[in-house]
Amino acid sequence: MIKLKTKLNAAAILFQACLLAACAAGPDYKSPDLVLPETWAAVQDDGAIKASAAEAQWWRLYADAALDTLEEEALAHNSDIQVAAARVLEVRAQLGISGADQYPTVSAHVMQSRTKSTLAGAAPRPANLARIQDLSHTSLDASYELDLWGKFRRASEAARADLLAAESAQETVRLTLTTQVAQQYFALVALDAQEVAVRRLLESRQERIGINRKQVEVGILSEYDLHQAEADVAAVQSQLVSIALARSKQETALTLLLGRSPRDVMAAGVQRGTPALPLATVPEGLPSDMLLRRPDLRDAEQRLVALNARIGVARAQYFPSISLTGYVGGESVAFSDLFTGPARIFQFAGNIAQPIFNAGRVGYMVDAAEARRDQALLLYKQAVANAFGDVRNALSAQDSARQVLSFESARSTALASAYKQAELRYQSGIASRLELLDVERNYLQAQLNRLDAERAQRSAVADLFKALGGGWKTQ
């Protein structure tokens, strides 16, 4: 009967130990409650491309081989991308370290020593003890801390969340980089087109001033009007120089994003193409909570998961730590006897440490961990709100850019016809030079505005895909 009770008590203790091992200190993570719209309230356009169609390589919607090449170059050589990749490797190694803490550590220990004792010491040396002694020692040491309170499991949970956060941060860097490359490229293409328009005007004015000089020679035109025409040519040349400077700076900024070497940055040669003017819309009926897949939001949530798990790590300090240690080996004054039976040694020990008084240190550690978790929760909720704001602004910007381009194109077409008529009227002597210049300046500005509107529309599409996290897979 006594043996039966002993067995039952042992079983109960074992069962309680299993229950303790199955639970972990600290709160389990629960996704925050967010008040989200059910679906997107976006205006759909039959001619627009759904955002889900682009997925990761959204820039291929522009159907520009030069842009595709630049994006691939940036993803391969940009330093920010490489730093983010190295960060992922670092955090993955930290996860391995946290996982290793849950297993025993085993090490080998070998020692060989020779000691010579003093003859002038305070205590007399026994007569049968040799003055010079040799000692050989070898052992296999092991130690293991039981994770009854889930301290190491919570640490591994936090490390896994850190890894997921680092991978999401890497994707955020990728998305931001590809957007910046595309927008810098669109600005460069727009400056090229603006330079062509201004140069075309310069050629027209230079041709006209040649005619004006002949008119001055025959007395049809005054030197005053000739000097005014020369000043107009100089003004256009100055505008051309400003555009060339802006283009040079744009090329430099783009080559830096591409991660090129200092020599290539100085060369600043960037291939150009002719990007299309696509439109993109959020797919109709897409649930709005899919935006939570955006990489920066995944990053923020995984940071929250990690900090929530570290509350458990802090709370586990309240409970006793139980560790097991031991070694087996041999010890002998003669190395030849080290592995014989009489030289064998071993030790097995258990250690329990329970905090009694630490001036509230553990409580403060828990409070600090909870405060960090609360901060991360607020930052996550704010990041979600900002993400929906980004999408709303990007949709509005794209719609506005499309309308502005339509109006500026109509204005440019109308002023092109007005410019031709003004030039004919000037050559016929019906209109003055000032009237011609006024129409000419308006026409040039309309051309520049139209080109800038094209750039804005391309950039607005890029901003939308950035806001959406690069497009969606609806399956």
pLDDT at 1 over 80: no
Residue % of the chain over a pLDDT of 70? 89
Place of tokens 């005014």: 228
Residue % of the chain over a pLDDT of 90? 49
DSSP string, 100-123: HTTS-EEEEEEEEEEEE--SS-SS
272 touches 66 (CB < 8 A) = yes
- According to DSSP, the residues that pair with 331 across neighbouring strands are 137
For residues 196-223, average pLDDT: 82
pLDDT at 163 over 90: yes
Burial class for 127, CB neighbours closer than 10 Å (0-12, 13-18, 19+): exposed
Task: Retrieve residue 267's tokens.
Answer: 């060369």
> Which pairs with CB-CB distance under 8 Å and at least 24 residues apart come from 430-434?
433/225, 433/228, 433/229
Residue 272 binned pLDDT confidence (cut-offs 50, 70, 90): confident
Kindly state the helix (H) or strand (E) to which residue 135 belongs, with its residue range: strand 132-146
Place of tokens 């256009």: 236
Residue 14 binned pLDDT confidence (cut-offs 50, 70, 90): very low
Helix, strand, coil percentages in the chain from 3-state DSSP, rounded to 5: 65, 10, 25
Residue 474, pLDDT score: 46
Query: Which of 35-39, 90-94, 413-417 is least confident?
Result: 35-39
> CA geometry: angle at 369 spanning 368 and 374, to 5°?
95
By C-alpha distance, which of 326, 278, 354 is closest to 139? 326
Task: Retrieve residue 183's tokens.
Answer: 């927008």
Task: Retrieve residue 67's tokens.
Answer: 């842009």
Q: How far apart are CA 187 and CA 63, in angstroms?
A: 17
Task: Retrieve residue 201's tokens.
Answer: 């005007």
- At residue 37, the 3 state secondary structure works out as coil
Kindly state the helix (H) or strand (E) to which residue 387 belongs, with its residue range: helix 361-427
pTM recorded for the entire structure: 0.82
Q: Convert 206-230 to b/e letters by CB count within 10 Å (16 or more is b).
A: eebeeebeeebeeeebeeebeeebe
By C-alpha distance, which of 275, 243, 244 is closest to 70? 275
Residue 42, pLDDT score: 52
For residues 184-192, average pLDDT: 93
Q: How far apart are CA 259 and CA 2, in angstroms?
A: 78
Q: Could you read off the pLDDT of 376-389 as tens digits, one per residue?
A: 999 999 999 999 89
How many other CB atoms are found less than 10 A from the CB of residue 99?
15
Q: How far apart are CA 162 and CA 87, in angstroms?
A: 11
Could you tell me the domains of the chain?
A: 23-104+149-194+249-319+361-467 (1.20.1600.10)
Residue 285, pLDDT score: 58
Write out the E strands in 170-282.
280-281
